[in-house]
Each structure stands twice: as C-alpha cells, then as structure tokens.
Amino acid sequence: MVNGMVGSFQLMKSLNKSLILNVIRTEGPISRAEIAKKTNLTPPTVTNIVGELLESNLVVESDLGNSTGGRKPIMLRINSTAFQVIGIDVAISHIRVIAITLDAQIIQSLKIKLPSNLTNEILLDLLIDAVNQIIQKADLQQQNIIGIGVGMHGLVNPDEGVSIYAPNLHLRQIPIRQALEEAFQIPVEVENDARAMALGESWFGNGQGVENSVSIYVGMGVGAGIILNHKLYRGASHTAGEMGHTTVDANGPKCSCGNYGCLEALVAGPAIVARTQTALREGRESIILQLAEGDFDKISGEIVYQAALQADPLALEILRDTGRYLGIGIANIINTLNPQKVIIGGGVSKSGEFILEALREQVQRRSLETPCQAVTIETAKLGGHATAIGAATLILRNLFAPEFS
Ligand SMILES: [Zn+2]
C-alpha cells in the first residue's frame, strides 16, 4: 500500500475486526450473540467492533431474527452494495475490467483491445484509462472503491505488485501496483491470472468451502492456481502452479518455454490449432476447413469446437486427444497434491463435454486409487469473468480474511 494512504479500510489492521466481518459475510444475517459464539470473542468486544463496522457502513442492521425466547435479536449483514472493487484481467489480446459489489456481483464490465505496439508505459496508461472508464460507466464514487485487483498472465511478484515477465506481450518489470496506486490512491494487488482465477473460484465459484483445490486455466496458455488450506499457494519465488510446463510427453512438440512435450504445448488453444492444421494438411476429411472459409490461418479452437458440435470426426478426435493429455497432467497433480477438487477454466473448458470423458478416463487410469476417489473434477463456474473476479477477490481477501493474504 502507498505510504500515508488514507481511507476507512486501514481499519482492517485489527484481526478481530476482520474476523467478525468475515463471520458476518459467510453466516449473515447474524446476531451479535451468534457472532460472539462463533468467534469466541466476548459480547462487549463484539458490540464494540460491530459499532465501528456499522459506523464505517460496511455492515448494516437488517430485519429481526428468530428469538429463542425474549426479545428478537437484531441481525447484521454486509452492506454489499455500498462499496465496490475493481478487477482487471490482462490477457494476451485484450484487457477485461469489471466493477463488483462486496459479494462479487458484477456492476459493469468492459473489454479493451490491446494494441500491438505495447510498451510498459502504454500498458500502464491503458490500465489507468480502463479504471477511469469503469468508474464512469458504473458511476462509482472513488471513496467507495476499496481497491483494484489485477490478474496478469506470466510471472508476477505479488509482494511487489510487479509483472516480472509477460511472455505474450514481450514486456518485463511492469510496476503495475505503483502506477495504479499513484493514479487512484487506493490499494492495488497484482497476481498471476491463473492464481487469481483459482482464488475467485475458491471464494465465489465451484471451489467455495473447499479446503484444497486446484484450478487449471486452459486457454492461449495453461496455468494453475493451487489452494492449500483455503490459502493461495505461491511457492518460493511466485511460480507455483506453472503446470503448463510440466512434461506429459517426453517426445512431444516444442513448447514456448523451449522444453518439449509440456502440457501447454499439447492442450492450449494454439496446440489444438496446430494439431488440426497438421491433420488437414495430411489430407484428413473434415468440415473444419470449410468452417474456416478454406483458410488454414483462420482455424481456431472455437472453430474446432463448432465442428465437434456437428459431430465432425477429426474435431472430436482432436478434442478427445486434448482431454487425454489434460487428464495425464491432472493425474500428476492429483497424485502430488491430493486435492478435493480440480476445476478447469479458460476457453478450452467450453468444450468440456468433448474433453471431459477422455480426461476422466486418464485420471482413473493414472492417479492412485485413494486420491482419485477423493477428487471431483468440474468446469469453472465464473466463466469468462473468472480472472477479473479473482483479481478483485485479492482485495476482498485483504478486507475479510487478511490472515489468508
Ligand atoms: Zn513449456
């Protein structure tokens, strides 16, 4: 946080306060007496802190609850719509920006195309402009915005709020937090996009309430976010979850990282396209080329999916192979981490029905019986906004559960 930054949210320095706030968030509407019971704090402490929370407008009193005899207790809930968080997903070709309420309802969203001649300065200006646009579009008051979360592909140092290396944009050392905090004077968090997605799914998607889960993003690249004991795991130098660069076929195609047979080189969007193009050049019959208007360069993951919907045998085979490779990668992670849930997001997850069967078959075959029985594999709930919502959740995490930051 920028030194000397003012605002009512400095108040979360008190752990008891965030503890109470989080109980109200997860259990509300809830009475003061129930909060005391759940937190093991004394009733006077609860009353004091709730007083401060009411004053800050983060919490409001709602309807009366049921009484177990005597006066009906006053119930408390989070004033979800009084404050907003901005979430930004910096992808390869565009930026997605959303404004959400404290319970992750999307107020407004916008998508901005990235120009091809990017520099650090141009990107930072675009981000500042994007935040200004969403503030206007959603008619937000700056003093009610709790913070800005940014999910960025590539290597990110979340402690410094710096994008260390964004391979697809060919940019290095982008001081995202510094630039946005200077521009808006509110707290900014930056995290890798797949890890942000995992956090979002863990708070608001299919990972809710799950202690240990892995969310895998499969789109233009492949990355994962690992939640251990409800906490996002970063690793020793912020690269935990780089599952896209684990080897699943030692003799496989060359990957963007220089290695051969990485998961990413077999299941990401470009890999699906490359396999399709090779098969077509070898003379395989398919409606794919026709859907791409006869242009090899127009073939996309989306077109392969469209062809699969029309039961095109080549498309079905390509997606089955994708599911098979993804299943091998996921079996490895299941054996390593023993998660309760594996959640698959990103563009490729749209083809879920065509890849999941082969994927599950490989998981069954290759993961050990005990962890295999413990795990559920699902597609992501938050869809196209998963990374942006996850980025905003970085700020919500600081507010409601700083012990997990
Ligand atoms: Zn690789």
Expressed in angstroms and rounded, the spacing between residue 126 Cα and the centre of ligand 1 is 29
Whether residues 281 and 333 share a domain: the answer is: yes
Angstrom CA distances, 225 to 146, 233, 264, stand at 24, 7, 15
Expressed in angstroms and rounded, the spacing between residue 72 Cα and the centre of ligand 1 is 61
Expressed in angstroms and rounded, the spacing between residue 260 Cα and the centre of ligand 1 is 7
Expressed in angstroms and rounded, the spacing between residue 263 Cα and the centre of ligand 1 is 7
Expressed in angstroms and rounded, the spacing between residue 97 Cα and the centre of ligand 1 is 29
What is the CATH number for 26? 1.10.10.10
- Residue 157 makes CB contacts below 8 A (sequence gap 6+) with 164, 238
Expressed in angstroms and rounded, the spacing between residue 266 Cα and the centre of ligand 1 is 10
Expressed in angstroms and rounded, the spacing between residue 261 Cα and the centre of ligand 1 is 7
- Residue 41 makes CB contacts below 8 A (sequence gap 6+) with 16, 19, 20, 35, 49
Report the pLDDT value the prediction gives residue 199, as an integer from 0 to 100.
Answer: 97
- 312, pLDDT greater than 70: yes
Report the pLDDT value the prediction gives residue 66, as an integer from 0 to 100.
Answer: 67
Expressed in angstroms and rounded, the spacing between residue 268 Cα and the centre of ligand 1 is 11
Residue 311, domain member (yes or no): yes
Answer with the one of 28, 47, 78 that is the final residue of a domain: 78
Residue 156, domain member (yes or no): yes
Expressed in angstroms and rounded, the spacing between residue 53 Cα and the centre of ligand 1 is 48
Provide mean pLDDT across the span 36-44: 94
Burial class (CB in 10 A: 0-12, 13-18, 19+), 311: exposed
The token duo for 244 is: 């896209």
Whether residues 357 and 251 share a domain: the answer is: yes
Whether residues 320 and 338 share a domain: the answer is: yes
Sheet strands side by side (includes 59-64): 30-31, 74-78, 59-64
Number of domains in the chain: 3
- For helices 352-366 and 313-337, angle between their N-to-C axes, nearest 10 degrees: 40
- 1, pLDDT greater than 60: no
Report the pLDDT value the prediction gives residue 149, as an integer from 0 to 100.
Answer: 98
Average pLDDT, the chain: 93
Expressed in angstroms and rounded, the spacing between residue 322 Cα and the centre of ligand 1 is 16
Report the pLDDT value the prediction gives residue 263, as an integer from 0 to 100.
Answer: 98
Report the pLDDT value the prediction gives residue 11, as an integer from 0 to 100.
Answer: 47
Whether residues 361 and 258 share a domain: the answer is: yes
Query: Domain span at residue 346?
Result: 208-380
Of the listed ranges 2-11, 20-29, 95-104, the least confidently predicted one is 2-11
Whether residues 197 and 324 share a domain: the answer is: no
Q: What is the pLDDT confidence band of residue 222, given thresholds at 50, 70 and 90?
A: very high
Of the listed ranges 54-68, 123-137, 351-365, the least confidently predicted one is 54-68
Expressed in angstroms and rounded, the spacing between residue 252 Cα and the centre of ligand 1 is 11
Expressed in angstroms and rounded, the spacing between residue 255 Cα and the centre of ligand 1 is 5
Of the listed ranges 167-171, 264-268, 291-295, 333-337, the least confidently predicted one is 167-171
Whether residues 280 and 348 share a domain: the answer is: yes
Whether residues 362 and 217 share a domain: the answer is: yes
Expressed in angstroms and rounded, the spacing between residue 251 Cα and the centre of ligand 1 is 13
Q: By the 8 A CB rule, do 276 and 305 touch?
A: no
Residue 1, domain member (yes or no): no
Expressed in angstroms and rounded, the spacing between residue 384 Cα and the centre of ligand 1 is 24
- 94, pLDDT greater than 70: yes
- 245, pLDDT greater than 70: yes
Neighbours of 95 (CB within 10 A): 21
Expressed in angstroms and rounded, the spacing between residue 245 Cα and the centre of ligand 1 is 4
Whether residues 219 and 260 share a domain: the answer is: yes
Whether residues 103 and 121 share a domain: the answer is: yes
Distance in angstroms (rounded) separating the CA atoms of residues 328 and 291: 30
Residue 3, domain member (yes or no): no
Residue 2, domain member (yes or no): no
Q: What is the pLDDT confidence band of residue 348, given thresholds at 50, 70 and 90?
A: confident
Report the pLDDT value the prediction gives residue 310, as an integer from 0 to 100.
Answer: 96
More confident site: 117 or 188: 188
Expressed in angstroms and rounded, the spacing between residue 264 Cα and the centre of ligand 1 is 6
Expressed in angstroms and rounded, the spacing between residue 257 Cα and the centre of ligand 1 is 4
Expressed in angstroms and rounded, the spacing between residue 249 Cα and the centre of ligand 1 is 11
Expressed in angstroms and rounded, the spacing between residue 29 Cα and the centre of ligand 1 is 48
Q: By the 8 A CB rule, do 73 and 31 touch?
A: yes
Report the pLDDT value the prediction gives residue 351, as an integer from 0 to 100.
Answer: 83
Answer with the one of 78, 93, 111 that is the final residue of a domain: 78
- 5, pLDDT greater than 50: no
Whether residues 145 and 247 share a domain: the answer is: no
Provide mean pLDDT across the span 114-121: 94
Report the pLDDT value the prediction gives residue 69, as an integer from 0 to 100.
Answer: 67
Q: What is the pLDDT confidence band of residue 7, given thresholds at 50, 70 and 90?
A: very low
Expressed in angstroms and rounded, the spacing between residue 31 Cα and the centre of ligand 1 is 52
Expressed in angstroms and rounded, the spacing between residue 253 Cα and the centre of ligand 1 is 10
Expressed in angstroms and rounded, the spacing between residue 250 Cα and the centre of ligand 1 is 12
Expressed in angstroms and rounded, the spacing between residue 246 Cα and the centre of ligand 1 is 7
Provide mean pLDDT across the span 139-154: 95
| Alpha-helix residue ranges (DSSP H) falling in 103-257 | 120-137, 176-184, 193-204
Residue 166, domain member (yes or no): yes
Report the pLDDT value the prediction gives residue 67, as an integer from 0 to 100.
Answer: 63
Q: What is the pLDDT confidence band of residue 377, given thresholds at 50, 70 and 90?
A: very high
* H-run or E-run covering 257: none
- For helices 313-337 and 301-309, angle between their N-to-C axes, nearest 10 degrees: 110
Expressed in angstroms and rounded, the spacing between residue 220 Cα and the centre of ligand 1 is 13
Report the pLDDT value the prediction gives residue 8, as an integer from 0 to 100.
Answer: 46
What is the CATH number for 255? 3.30.420.40
Whether residues 72 and 88 share a domain: the answer is: no
- 4, pLDDT greater than 50: no
Residue 237, domain member (yes or no): yes
Q: Max CA-CA distance within the chain?
A: 81
DSSP letter string over 175-211?
Answer: -HHHHHHHHH-S-EEEEEHHHHHHHHHHHHSTTTT-S
Answer with the one of 31, 50, 78 that is the final residue of a domain: 78
Whether residues 214 and 126 share a domain: the answer is: no
- 13, pLDDT greater than 60: no
pLDDT tens per residue, range 52-90: 999 999 999 987 666 666 777 899 999 999 999 999 999
Expressed in angstroms and rounded, the spacing between residue 58 Cα and the centre of ligand 1 is 45
What residues sit around ligand 1, an ion, with C-beta below 5 angstroms?
A: 245, 255, 257, 259, 262
- 402, pLDDT greater than 90: no
Residue 194, domain member (yes or no): yes
Name the DSSP class of 254: B
